[in-house]
Amino acid sequence: MAHLPAPIALLAPHQLGTLVENRTVYSLDAFELSVFETHQQALQVPLSLGQVVLTTMLRGKKVMHLAGRAAFEYLPGESVVVGENETMHIDFPEADAATPTQCLAVAIPTDTIRQTVDLLNEEYPRAEAHQPWQLDTRTPEHAHFHNPPELTSTLERLVQLSRSTGRIKDVLANFTIQEMLVRLMQTQARQLLFHNYRQHATSHRFAAVVQYVKQHLTEPITVEKLAGLACMSKATFFRVFKRELGLTPVEFVIQERLAEAKRLLCLPAATVADVCFRAGFNNTAYFQKLFKQSEGITPGLYKRQRATG
């Protein structure tokens, strides 16, 4: 399920200075937040904000062209990290007055990134010393991703602070932009391990954990077992796993089982009850509750939508 920040109202037609990438800017000491709107089709529109930028789609569809990467569709609920002084070239194939695009862009000062990364590496080192904290703006699979709920929540607070008139908003903004960077690096760490765990099996202890979970979804999986695979005590494993990846080991197991359930629900002969147990859940009511929390619809409705889609 795509996690979208709370809606931001579109500008009225008379408020638009341009129909292509109209920009509303909120400048704070800690960051600069821009809201871009496009209300007509356009191709190869260049955009560079000069700093490292986290962009998040809110409405519509873009096609992004970034140096060294194949063009890709950019949809609501997704984010893209753009490197310092990197120029985006953007297509707006469907934008018009009825279906405009809208996108957030948070420009992050280089000093803020460096200070946050240094703090994490000094005080909260990652499980593998040879893989320190860093913000990756170059690897395509790490720079374009679906928003996790924690990052979405942080973005919502950045928007609220940007529009606030409170006297201490700049203090709060400094803490919140650091949290956003941590959430962003956790998201990239998950991308690295969850999608490429086989190639990191001998270099990252959590890769072995990910592989075991994926291979034993239908079996009981305990934190004790996973901690043993990581060669850590249960308490240390639980704490470091959550700190590094942004979710607990139990949440990861549930996430993987729900992903397997979604795959199985697309099989014509599979019933919801069958899928529940084949995905590793042992209680259909619990499965349906978790599925609806994750996807916003019941497993039965998800199956019917896939069958008719």
Give the domains, in start order, of the chain with CATH numbers: 1-195 (2.60.120.280), 198-250 (1.10.10.60), 253-308 (1.10.10.60)
Per the DSSP assignment, residues forming a β-bridge with 24 are 35
* Of 254, 246, 222, 223, the residue nearest 236 (C-alpha): 223
SS3 202: coil
The dihedral formed by the CA atoms of 191, 192, 195 and 200, expressed in degrees to the nearest 10: -160
* Per-residue pLDDT reduced to its tens digit, 172-201: 999 999 999 999 999 998 888 888 888 887
Q: What DSSP string describes 30-61?
A: S-EEEEEEE-S-EEEEEE--SSEEEEEEEES-
* pTM more than 0.75: yes
Strand spans (E) along the chain: 22-27, 32-38, 42-47, 52-59, 62-65, 72-74, 78-82, 88-92, 101-108, 144-146
Q: Rounded to an integer, what distance in angstroms lies between the CA atom of residue 72 and that of residue 50?
A: 22
* Number of neighbours of residue 73 by Cβ within 10 angstroms: 13
Residue 1 above 80 pLDDT?
no
| pLDDT reported for residue 309 | 66
What are the pLDDT digits (tens) for 30-84? 999 999 999 999 999 999 999 999 999 999 999 999 988 899 999 999 999 999 9
User: Which residue from 259, 258, 267 is spatially nearest to 286, judged by alpha carbons?
Assistant: 258
Q: Average pLDDT for residues 21-26, to the nearest whole number?
A: 97
